[in-house]
Structure 1
Amino acid sequence: MDNSPSLDVRVTGGLVRGTREGGTVAWRGIPYAAPPVGRLRFRSPRRVLAWRGRRDAETFGPAAPQAHKGQFTGIDPDVPSGEDCLTINVVAPSSGAADPRGLPVMVFIHGGGYSTGSSRDFSGQGRNFVRSGRVVYVSFNYRLGALGYLDFSRYSTRRRPIDSNLGLRDQVAALRWVSRNIRAFGGDPGRVTVFGESAGANAVTTLMATPSARGLFARAIAQSAPANAVYSRERAAAWAEEFVEILRRRIGPASTSDPDAPLSVDQTVALLTGADASELVSAALVLQARTPDETPGLFCLAPVVDGRLVPRHPMVAFRTGTAHRVPLIIGTNDREGTIFRGRIDILPRSILRIETVLGNGDPESRALIVQAYPGLPGGGLTADFSGDYAFWYPCVAVAERHSRYAPVYFYRFDVAPRLMRWAGLDATHGLEMFALFEQADARLARTMTSLGGRRVFTSAGERMRDAWLQFAEVGAPLEDWPRYAEPERLTLIIAEHDRIESDPRAARRQAWTALLPLA
């Protein structure tokens, strides 16, 4: 019996036609919400607009507006982009599913600091996951930068409403689309795994604390999550005000003759809604470049505790058990912070930035940090300090808290090709993505493995991918990966030969717990 999926699939909005590609069937660029343009700029995503006839789904939709040069760069300039970016992609095995329930579904949320990236990146295509025949793979675009992750709701009026957490709302809308439509592609809406890396992992942990996302996914994977990067309305309002002033200085409102006079709410709204998307991107770059020194350790483009979509900080939700009690894989790479230097120096690595972070604690907790990272604030462990601050310790805190209510599996990825170790980068932020998504033949990966280590790197990615697939299928990884729980804190170390360690880097964990008792 032929159970291969049909190229023509009816989804919310109409009929779409996919393409067969080497053992898979792909449908790309399907709208999951109305274009957020015109009156819908800065508004929650609206229901997708229906179309007539059959819609071609062979190509990716436009990426969200983002920069092509400067400190924070994203997609190549020849990749189409625009505000009409709310599209989703589905890739399924061409053989279909033998299980009448359908295959498990893996929904990937791309990273990029909530300012860059798109679903057409190699991680968004997921072919190596689909060719296993074990899952249906989904990726999507969402609003980025000022259009998605600055909170201008303080300027909302009855005549021109403005909503908060727009990128996060897009993610919820995409998951709702999956829940309603994925059966048509051979997927099981009851076995959806949401996963992401970096900002995409922050999205995962934030969605776990978003009430409106309840029931839209059954498991979660967060790779290198800056899970604490969710801020108060007051902090977000300060960034919004600073952004408006930057934008005003760049293009200026036509309705005022005095460049220094305070803007009214109506003038501010007119400035934000009338600006070209490219101007919003440029102004956001200025704000992003300022933030690491003005507020060390914080990221200006991030979700907001708005009291509505995100009623409480995710760390509070994990601590109190009000986060969605789904099984979770979470972890980081060995040395997350080494890549953040030079053009992308955004972490607290300088003496001034480190001293600002240390200023959050009392003398005893600061002494514990210095013992854990000898030589601070100016010694050789600044990269480890900054990476642990932004990624590792927040992941540990999430794992520790969530494990009291649901299964948690913690990992650390230690595999680094010889060239990466020679350069002092080691297993840095994002490195595991090349292994997990079988990208050893990509130009950058070939360079990284040019001095050796390719076999070990590729093999680690295969084991990691198999664990992710097993987790998507049954809600638990391989049997030799034990659950994470206090006090043992058993952790899978992904290395040339995998091993289990109990509470690795305990001294660092205890120092951070004393310095930064998260919400």
Structure 2
Amino acid sequence: MSKRALGSVFALALAVLAGAPAVVRADQPVVRAPAGAVRGVEANGLRVFKGIPYAAAPVGPLRWKPPVEPPTWPGVREAVDFGPACWQPKPRAGSIYASPLKAFSEDCLSLNIWTPDNAKKAPVLVWIHGGSLIGGSSSESLYDGAALAERGVLVVSINYRLGVLGYLAHPELSAESPDHVSGNYGLLDQIAALKWVQRNIAAFGGDPANVTIAGESAGGLSVMYLMASPLARGLFHKAIAQSAYMVSTPPLREPKLGHVPAEAGGEATAAKLGAKSLADLRAMDAETITTSALMAGFQTFGAVDGKVLPKQLVETFDAGEQARVPILAGFNSGEIRSLRVLAPPPPPDAASYEKEIRARYGDLADDFLELYPSDNVPESVLLAPRDALYGWTAERLVAKQTAAGAPGYLYYFDHGYPAADAADLHGFHASELPYVFGTAASTPPAWPKIPDTPGEARLSTAMIGYWTAFARSGVPTAADAPAWKPYGADHAYMAFVDQPRPGERLRPGMYALNEAVVCRRRAQGDTPWFLNVGVISPPLPPGVPQCR
């Protein structure tokens, strides 16, 4: 970046960071961190700071650059309101996940902190929101960190660039880069936030040597990207991945696993938007390009560029080249019940279902039909993609960390309650979040309402206990709750049903089947395994020795 461009970014950062007039109120907490002084609010034994900029996102004519560390801001910055969300499409009407967001901005890189009053060297949990890398915000009520902070954990939640503004790769962008790469800007934002934590969190009472990264869905995918990225190494010490999905990722310049190269995908998106050059793309306003790119079919994933992401996630974890940190990972029983777009239409009858599975899975068909039988086709059609995306990923994470010498803890969330079960949403995707954060009373408007009962409260208390203990020590424990054994040789796990229930060997055969399928797809080299499951799976190639 030229000195003139860099100066423009700094000027923009100063304008954003200037904030409200610095009139210090004696009754509210002020923290003087290396980044600058901030004033938050104090209540119920906690201090809360919102909307703190951790970096400047280059915008407009400088769009699609790595985040820029801003200079220290002058005076005391007000930190009592959430920062604007990053630009994203409007949520689908009636979606149970839709949360009201007040404001949007292209320069949206802020974070929020919940810390116990008088904290000193508290464990730090950095939360990365979900939303398919195209939506979501750290300001969502589900992610309020108060209940975790009450257990002595300092909670940080972050925004990061989304969709085309966060993940566009393009030859002209790569030509501008000193590393000759592009894309992954949202991931670079997350890394910048972790660097900010390392520099500043001690001032808030946190321990920069005890940082846990955590996220759900696309946040869980981001956790895996961070574990795989050399640029994030040493910035965290434990990881939590909730309903993550270890899908294949497009390489920057070569076709692989059925993916169009990320740069070629960026060129195709630009052409569909009528942009003849990078300058044309940068001239489009943020809201228009965000929505138009999604409508044009832009696929939001990280790119294997050899620098930020050196390899496919499966390759990195197979080689043991990921961050070797303790991990807590799991999935929900009804993941696909609220994501039915991920499931194929069920065949009309059992015979048709079996015929399709045998034609597509060959010598693995018996294994598939044992797990996903024809006696309840609609249910099997939901369970197969659930396991292929989320179940296999969760068990793979704990298995690979165990093999690398780091403890792994597996969970299975199978809890239902009247409103969810009545809507056929038992254990739906993300339904564990209100229990982990203690936010059952502040779920999104269309979310099935969680009853205010002692049983629901006990389950939430146990989960908060396990999660905060893991952030503190790397071992999930909870008062008046069963011991949670590491995955280990027994393939141990914890099920959350009406209460925590330990078990061993979750869904026998599930991991082995999906591992074999993915292994064959990798050997085949021209077909992704993402969503190519069950009756819509392209025929699997014959087995090869390393895939059985």
TM range (shorter): 0.7 to 0.9
3-state SS in 2 of match to 1:156: helix
Q: Deviations over 1:437-463 (max 9, x none)?
A: 22222366997357x684433321211
Q: Deviations over 1:299-334 (max 9, x none)?
A: x21222111111112222222211111110000111
Matching of residue 284 in structure 1 with residue 286 in structure 2: no
Give the Cα–Cα distance (whole angstroms) in 1 for the partners of residues 284 and 388 of structure 2: 36
**What is the one-letter code of the residue matched to 1:167?**
G
Inter-partner Cα distance in structure 2 for 1:350 and 1:243 = 31
Report the counterpart of residue 411 of structure 2 in structure 1.
Answer: 411
For 1:301 and 1:63, the matched residues in 2 are separated by: 18
* Map 1:85-100 → 2, pairs under 5 A: 85-94=108-117, 96-97=118-119
Q: What is aligned with 1:256? A: none
What is the identity, as a one-letter code, of the residue corresponding to 1:85? Answer: C
CA separation in 2, counterparts of 1:201 and 1:126? 18
2:345 aligned to which of 344, 350, 354:
350
SS at match of 1:52: coil
Say if 2:26 is the partner of 1:8.
Answer: no
1:170 partner amino acid? D
Q: Against the structure 1 CA distance between its residues 37 and 304, is the aligned structure 2 distance closer, same or farther, given a 3 Å change threshold?
A: same
1:207-230 C-alpha deviation (Å, 9 max, x unpaired): 111111111111111111112353
Aligned residue type for 2:483? D
Shift of 1:397: 1.5
1:483 to 472, 481, 486: 486
Aligned counterpart, 2:281 = 272
Residue type matched to 1:508 in 2? M
Change (3 A) 1:280 1:351: farther
Write the letter of the residue equivalent to 2:47: V
**1:497 maps to what in 2?**
499
Structure 1 residues 361 and 208, CA gap change in structure 2 (3 angstroms): farther
Residue type at the aligned position of 1:316: E
Which of 210, 217, 234 is residue 229 of structure 2 equivalent to?
210
Give the aligned partner of residue 324 of structure 1.
323
- 1:47 equivalent to 2:50? Answer no
1:36 matched to 2:58? The reply is: yes
Q: C-alpha separation between the residues in 1 aligned to 2:177 and 2:410?
A: 48
Moved more, 197-206 or 36-45: 36-45
Distance in 2 (CA, whole Å) between partners of 1:278 and 1:366 is 46
2:130 matched to 1:108? no
Asked if 1:150 is matched to 2:172, the reply is: no
1:140 partnered with 2:158: yes
Q: How does 1:41-80 map to 2 (within 5 A)?
A: 41-70=63-92, 79-80=102-103
Q: How far off is 1:33 after superposition?
A: 1.1
Structure 1 pair 444–179 and aligned structure 2 pair: CA distance change class (3 A)? closer
Matches within 5 A, 1:442-461: 442=442, 448=448, 454-461=453-460
Deviation of residue 505 (structure 1)? 0.7
| Aligned-partner residue type, residue 287 of structure 2 | S
Take 1:13 and 1:383, find their aligned partners in 2: how far apart are those partners?
Answer: 48
8 Å Cα contact 1:361/1:516 also seen in 2? no
Look up the equivalent residue of 2:407 and give its one-letter code: P
Contact 2:98 2:445 in 1 (8 A): no
Counterpart residue identity of residue 104, structure 2: S
Q: Report the alpha carbon displacement of residue 284 of structure 1 after superposing the two structures with TM.
A: 3.0
The one-letter code of the counterpart of 2:33 is: V
- SS of the residue corresponding to residue 499 of structure 2 reads coil
Contact 1:68–1:76, Cα closer than 8 Å, also in 2: no
Amino acid at match of 2:338: I
Unaligned runs of 5+ in 1: 254-266, 292-299
Structure 1 length-normalised TM: 0.84
Measured in 1, the distance between the counterparts of 2:98 and 2:169 equals: 24
Deviations along 1:62-98, one digit per CA (max 9) or x if unpaired, are 110011244898866661111110111111112x13x
Partner amino acid, structure 1, of 2:290: V
Task: Give identity over the alignment, percent.
Answer: 32
Going from structure 1 to structure 2, the CA distance change for 1:449 and 1:270 (only over 3 Å counts) comes to: closer
Q: Is the 8 A contact 2:144 2:437 kept in 1?
A: no
1:460 maps to amino acid: L
**Which secondary structure does the structure 2 equivalent of 1:420 belong to?**
helix
Shift of 1:154: 6.2
Moved more, 143-152 or 231-240: 231-240
Contiguous gaps of at least 5 residues in structure 2? 1-26, 348-352, 523-548
Q: How many Å separate the matches in 1 of 2:447 and 2:111?
A: 32
Report the AA paired with residue 335 of structure 1.
Answer: G
1:237-316 residue pairs with structure 2 within 5 A? Answer: 237-238=260-261, 241=264, 244-246=267-269, 248-250=271-273, 252-253=274-275, 267-288=276-297, 300-316=299-315
Indicate whether 1:465 and 2:474 are aligned. Answer: no
Q: Which residue of 2 aligns with 1:425?
A: 425
RMSD over aligned CA atoms reads 3.1
Q: Which letter does structure 2 place at the counterpart of 1:104?
A: P
Structure 1 SS opposite 2:292: helix
The separation in 2 between residues aligned to 1:89 and 1:194, in whole angstroms, is 14
SS at match of 1:321: coil
Q: Which runs of 4+ in 1 moved over 6 A?
A: 71-75, 159-162, 357-361
AA aligned opposite 2:320: G
Instruction: Give CA deviations for 1:141-187 in whole Å, capped at 9, x if unaligned.
Output: 10000011232356533499873211111101100000110000000
CA shift at 1:60, angstroms? 1.2
Q: 1:212 to 1:337 in 2, by over 3 A?
A: same
Give the number of aligned pairs: 479
Identify which of 4, 17, 21 aligns with 2:43. 21
Query: Which residue number corresponds to residue 401 of structure 2?
Result: 402
- 8 Å contact kept, 1:110–1:119: yes
Contact preservation (8 Å) 1:339, 1:429: yes
Supply the distance in 2 between the matched residues of 1:202 and 1:360 (Cα, whole angstroms): 32
Q: 1:47 to 1:362 in 2, by over 3 A?
A: same
Contact 1:111 1:199 in 2 (8 A): yes
Q: What is the Cα deviation at residue 248 of structure 1?
A: 4.2
Of 230-239 and 53-62, deviating more is: 230-239
Match of 2:510 among 504, 508, 511: 508
Aligned residue identity for 1:219: K
